[in-house]
Structure formats: structure tokens, C-alpha cells
Amino acid sequence: MSRDPIKLTIGLGFTGVLALMGLISFISLSQMNAITEKMSSLLEETNAKTSAANNMRDSIRLRGDVLNNMYLTDDFIARDEYRLQLSVHGLKYKKSKDILSSFHMSAREAKLLDQIIKRSRVAKEYNDTAADNLLSDLPKEDVQNQLLLANKARKEMLTSLDKLVVLQEKVTHSVINEAKKYQETISHIILLLSLAAFFIALYIAQLVIRETSKKNSEIHFQATHDELTKLVNRKEFNHRLKEAFNNARDNHETHALCFLDLDNFKTINDSCGHKAGDELLIQLTRTIKNNIRSHDTLARIGGDEFGLLLEGCSLDKAVEIAEGIISLIKNYEFNWQDKKLHVGVSIGLVMITRATQNIEKALSEADTACYVAKDMGRNQVHLHGLDDDLVKKMHKELSWVADINNVENINRFSLYLQKIESIQTGKATSMYEVLLRLNDDEGTLISPGSYLPAAERFSLMKNVDRWVIKKTFKQLSKLYETIPNCNVQLFIKISENSLTNQTFSDFVIKQYKKHNIAHDAVCLEISEALAVKNINQTADIISALRKHNIKFALDNFGSGISSFSYLKNLPVDYLKIDGNIIKNISHNTTDKAMVAAINQIGKVMNIETIAKHVENVFTLNQLKDIGIDYAQGFYLGKPKQINECIEELKESTLQHSVKH
């Protein structure tokens, strides 16, 4: 017997199918023959019994006719002949009765037949007496009375025979129905066995097809994939590259081809052995695959060289993906035998468009671009065909994103505070917005708009948010150490990455406990666009943190069309009105009306309002007239470094305490 479980299953399956088919044939032939024989026997017996009963009825009717003819004729000779006919019909009746009695009968049939026999005796006596009276000289009245008794007896016999015939028909129908049910049962059994055979055969067929397909797939996979990393090999990569080239030529599509060469891989391979090198390649390829699009093709085309085909990809997106890969590999820590090892990667990038001459040239250009990237310092992307100044600019911008994960080490970020002034009476709290700034290599402050969008795309802003919260809370704790009852509130903006992070709420609560500051000392800002985009996550975070008296503000409120419609589902404490609306209220009545409407809604819902981008006294005065609670902008105060601002708060608070 074969030890291969698949072959064993197929062999047993075919044996089972053949056995079932044989059983089906045997049951079909034997049971159908049995049913046919039973039905034939039943029909013969039924026909014979019915025929005998009908003959008995005919004899009874004929005897009645004979008596009636004897009564109607006055000729005694004719009456005597009728008398002889009466005896003949009686003999026929008896013969039919004997035939009927010879068959097997049910209890009801036997009972009816017994009644008929008893009544036939009475009827015979009445018939014979009536016939004898007709041959005598008895008065007519006596003869008629006897004839009536004979007729009555005949009718009772006929009624009983009718019942017997009907009962016989019922018995026959009952037997036929039972035979049909039995036949249906046999048919169901045969059907079930047939279905079992069919499904077994189907399973075997699927098993054979699946195994054949699996074997073919394995053969094809081995022919088109790298054995170590399971990535597409050079041959398959060239095939897909050719299809992308044809697509670009025929459909005007744009694709990107990247050539990746690992930096410092040979050193690890030589110092730690090929086993370490193989494991590193497996881990790196898995990491890269998890961070590219599902329809992109990553291939191993050499020892530590890889190809990446980005189908349907613009230049900007291709650069973003390539820089993301550089960041991933640069920050990836490979642990091997208590050693922490790092590698880098250089990437050459070339676009495949309708103008691309051929695949060989594109591969050559990508390879050359990769070497240029290595010569330029490694761990970077070089775009074939772009101006060198543009390449350097793109490298500079995206290098900030690559270093965000190590922000605490490189210390490129700094925090600033901008005053939020109360413009109504009775507002004593000192309020500030926390602003994040990035310093480039020359120490120049970089606008957040230059690096935050890219950081969001790479899901790195959650790290930045946590860094900002940690640093802000640390600075606040210093203020609380000096002034335990300080009345300060700082506004910290959180990103989409944090909104969709399940552990963010726990992190914030942990920081409150760690630094022991008042829960209303920090207000978390969420932009209106992100709140709408992630309405459920936003509501969940707000609900979780408001239980701890943590306040929330909606930033850039009024920029969306449906601002008011979703506001009732977000229990916030402040509305920070979009600066683009605030800047125009001095000369745009529509914007002024919008600000007034937002303020009115805020008052109804017990939400305070903050106007951003207040740049002049005219705007400030109109905001006061409208009833806005707070204002923020360069007219009221420019951003200051957080440590400087905290020191000023300490001094002013202490001076105020001394005066009072």
C-alpha cells in the first residue's frame, strides 16, 4: 500500500465509488423486480376477486329478473321454465362465491363475505319460496308479500357485495400506495447513494485537480521566485517589467522602476557568516513588502540587489515610497548573537513612460542611478534624468522625515508657545498654543507644512505627537513645582496617526499621572477635517479622556460645509475658528456673519470660541463686538520658546503674589 496520503485517499475514494455504484445497481435491480412481482400478483388476485364479486352480483340480479318475469307471466309452463333458470343462476352464484372465498382476505373482507353468505341463505329461501308460491294457487296478495321479502334480501346482498368490491378497491389502493412509498424509499436510498458516489467522485476530482494545480504552482513558483526570500526572481521581474513597458507604451500609463543595493551588507556577511546574511535578507524583504502597495513587485535580482516595480505610480509617489524604504532600512535593527547590526540602502529610480526606449535601457539607467546614490553618500535616492539641484532639494526635505523616528536623539525639534488672549471680561486663565518647529542642518527653523504631511503619510506623526506631549508635560511640571496652583492651559494639536491609535488615550492619562498636573491644564486640539474623517475614533477618544476632565478643542472650525451638523456628536470645550475666515471679516460681510453664527452656536452649546490669525486691531475690535471669547495671532503675541515662556510665567506669577 502506498504511504502517500493523497494517493491512498484517491485509491480508497475510487474503491468506495465503485462499491457504491455496485450497491446501487444491486438494490435497483432486486428491489424493482420484487416490487414488480408483488404488483403483478396483487393485480391478478384483485382482478380475480373483483370478477368473482361481479359474477355474484350478476347472478343475484338475474335471479331477481327471473322472479319478476315469473310474476308477470300467467303461463304456468313458462313459470316452470323460469323456475329452472332460477336454479341455474343460483349455481353460478355459489360457484363465484366459492372462488371468492378461496382467496386470502383481510379481516374486514372476511367479515363482509360472511355477512353475504348468511344473507344469501336467507335470500335463497325467500327466492325459492316466492318461486314455489308463483307455481301454486295461493292468493295474489301472499305471492306479492313473498316477492317483496325476496327483493329486500337481494338488495341487502347487493349492498354487501358493493361494499366488498369497494373495500377490495381500497385494499388494493392501500397496497399500491404502500408499494409506491416503498418504491420512493428505495428511490431515496438510491439517490442518496448516488449523491454519495457523486460527491466522493467530485472530491476525488477536486483533490486530483488541486494536487495537480499545487504541483504546477510549486514548479512555477520555483521557476519564478528566489528560493531564500521567496521574492520574484530576475527572470519573472523582467517579464513583469516588459508588461509594464507595453502598458506604458499602449495606454500612456506611468510606472516607476527602482534598483536597490544594500549598503554594509557584505561586512555583516563576512563578519557574522552567510547564515546571518540570509536571515537579514529575509527580515528586510519582509519589512519592505509590508510597507509597499499590494500590487507593487519586489524582486531579488542579485546577492544584495533588489528591483522594485511600482505600477501606476507618479514620480512624487515613487520618491515617497523609495524614501520610506530608506527610512525603514536605516532604522531597522538586526539582532544576531547579542550584536545589534545596521545596514543602509541606496536606490536608483527611473520612470517608465511612453518615451522609454526599452526595458534593458531602463534597467541600465536604474542601476547607474543606484551607483550615483552610493557616490552621493548612500542611504538616499537618485532620480535618473532630473536636475541635480532638484534632487538635492528633495533629499533635503525627505531626510527630515527619515530622522523623525530618532527625534529625541538628534534633537531637531523645538517647542514654542503662542498666547491666546481673552478679549472678554472675567477670563483669568493664561492660555497658549504649543507650536512645533523643526531645525534643519544649518539651524534654520522649518515650517511644519514642509515636513508634517510627509510624516503623516509615513505614519510617523504619532511619535511626534507623543514627543510633544512628553516635553510639554515636563515643562508644565516644572511650573507646577514652583506654583502648584498656577492657572495655565496649553493647547496641543494631535494628528490623524494618534486619532487612529488605540493606545493613545492610555498614553495621555499615563502622562498626567506621571507629571501630576491638573487635568484641565492641557487641552487637546483636533482639526475639523480630521474629526470629520475619523468621526467615530474622534468621539471615542474624546469620550475616554473627558472622563478624566481633559478638555478638547476643534481646530480650523468652519472650514467644512457640514461643521454644525456633526458638532452635536463631538462634546468639545472650544471652537478655534478657521483663520482664513477671521482674516476677512473686516471687509467680507459673509465671513463676518459666519463668525457670528459660529459664536452663537457655541454659546447655545456652552462651547467657548477662539479666533485665529488676528493680525490687526480692526479685526480684534470686530471679534469683541461679535462676542468671541478668545483671540490668537501675531497682533496679540508672537510665538516664544516654551522654556522662555514658562520662566516668564513663573516670574509674573511670583511678582503678582508678592504684590498681593
Percentage, residues of the chain above pLDDT 70: 86
Q: Which positions ≥6 away from 45 have C-beta within 8 Å?
A: 103, 104
- 184 or 517: which carries more pLDDT confidence? 517
Cell matching residue 295: 500590487
Catalytic residue flag (residue 261): no
- 487 or 395: which carries more pLDDT confidence? 487
Alpha-carbon separation of residue 435 from 161, 263, 417, 449, 648 (angstroms): 113, 37, 6, 12, 17
Percentage, residues of the chain above pLDDT 90: 25
Cell matching residue 122: 336467507
Q: Cβ distance 559 to 529 under 8 Å?
A: yes
State the pLDDT at residue 2. Answer: 45
Q: pLDDT tens for residues 521-538?
A: 999 999 888 887 778 888
Q: Cβ distance 364 to 379 under 8 Å?
A: no
Q: Which of 68-82, 356-370, 542-556 has the lowest mean pLDDT?
A: 68-82
Specify the domain boundaries for CATH 3.30.70.270 within the chain.
234-402
Pairing between strand 305-310 and 551-557? unpaired
Distance linking the first and last C-alpha atoms of the chain: 102
The residue-averaged pLDDT of 255-277 equals: 87
Q: pLDDT tens for residues 76-112?
A: 788 788 788 878 887 888 888 888 788 877 787 778 7
State the pLDDT at residue 29. Answer: 62
The residue-averaged pLDDT of 340-356 equals: 90
Q: pLDDT tens for residues 352-367?
A: 998 888 889 899 889 8
Mapped onto helix, strand or coil, the DSSP state of residue 176 is: helix
- Residue 296 half-sphere exposure, CB side, CA atoms within 13 Å? 20
Specify the domain boundaries for CATH 1.20.120.1730 within the chain.
5-203
The residue-averaged pLDDT of 396-425 equals: 71
CA 444 to chain CA centroid, Å, is: 50
Specify the domain boundaries for CATH 3.20.20.450 within the chain.
408-659
- Residue 284 half-sphere exposure, CB side, CA atoms within 13 Å? 32
Single out the catalytic residue among 304, 403, 555, 629.
304
Q: Cβ distance 602 to 630 under 8 Å?
A: no
Domain 234-402 fold is Alpha-Beta Plaits (3.30.70)
The radius of gyration computed from the CA coordinates of the chain, to the nearest angstrom, equals 52
Beta-sheet strands, E only, within 20-154: none
Q: Cβ distance 215 to 289 under 8 Å?
A: no
Cα separation, 33 vs 302, in Å, equals 75
Cell matching residue 91: 349455481
Query: How many of the other CB atoms lie within 10 Å of CB of 422?
Result: 16
Helices (H), 376-439: 388-402, 407-410
Closest to 161 measured CA to CA, from 266, 14, 57, 32 = 57
Confidence bin at 284 (pLDDT 50/70/90): very high
Which amino acid, one-letter code, is at 604? V
State the pLDDT at residue 261. Answer: 92
Confidence bin at 419 (pLDDT 50/70/90): very high
The residue-averaged pLDDT of 453-468 equals: 73
State the pLDDT at residue 66. Answer: 79
Confidence bin at 205 (pLDDT 50/70/90): confident
The residue-averaged pLDDT of 243-248 equals: 91
Q: Share the mean pLDDT of the chain.
A: 82
CATH of domain 408-659: 3.20.20.450
Alpha-carbon separation of residue 147 from 56, 136, 141, 156, 371 (angstroms): 20, 14, 10, 14, 134
Is the pLDDT assigned to residue 257 strictly greater than 90? yes
Cα separation, 333 vs 395, in Å, equals 23
Q: Which element (helix H / strand E) includes 599?
A: helix 589-604
State the pLDDT at residue 453. Answer: 64
Angle at 292 between CA 287 and CA 293, to 5 degrees: 140
Torsion of CA 558, 561, 565, 566, to 10 degrees: -70
State the pLDDT at residue 449. Answer: 66
Query: Among all chains, which residue has been given the C-alpha cell 532620480?
Result: 383
What secondary structure letter does DSSP report for 423?
-
State the pLDDT at residue 420. Answer: 94
State the pLDDT at residue 493. Answer: 93
Q: Which of 59-68, 222-231, 548-557 has the lowest mean pLDDT?
A: 59-68
- 584 or 213: which carries more pLDDT confidence? 584
Stated pTM of the model: 0.48
Is the pLDDT assigned to residue 178 strictly greater than 60? yes
Is the pLDDT assigned to residue 409 strictly greater than 60? no
Cα separation, 102 vs 112, in Å, equals 15
Is the pLDDT assigned to residue 370 strictly greater than 70? yes
Query: How many of the other CB atoms lie within 10 Å of CB of 10?
Result: 18
What secondary structure letter does DSSP report for 73?
-
Is the pLDDT assigned to residue 139 strictly greater than 90? no
Pairing between strand 344-352 and 381-383? parallel
Cell matching residue 527: 482639526
State the pLDDT at residue 81. Answer: 84
Q: Cβ distance 391 to 377 under 8 Å?
A: no
Closest to 526 measured CA to CA, from 442, 602, 621, 461 = 461
Is the pLDDT assigned to residue 402 strictly greater than 80? no
- 445 or 592: which carries more pLDDT confidence? 592
Cα separation, 242 vs 236, in Å, equals 10
Cα separation, 269 vs 228, in Å, equals 15
State the pLDDT at residue 443. Answer: 66
Letter string b/e over residues 206-239, b meaning 16 or more CB atoms within 10 A of that residue's CB: eeeeeeeeeeeeeeeeeebbbeebebbbbebbbe
Does the 5-203 domain belong in CATH 3.40.50.1820?
no
Q: Cβ distance 583 to 615 under 8 Å?
A: yes
Pairing between strand 344-352 and 255-263? antiparallel
State the pLDDT at residue 430. Answer: 86
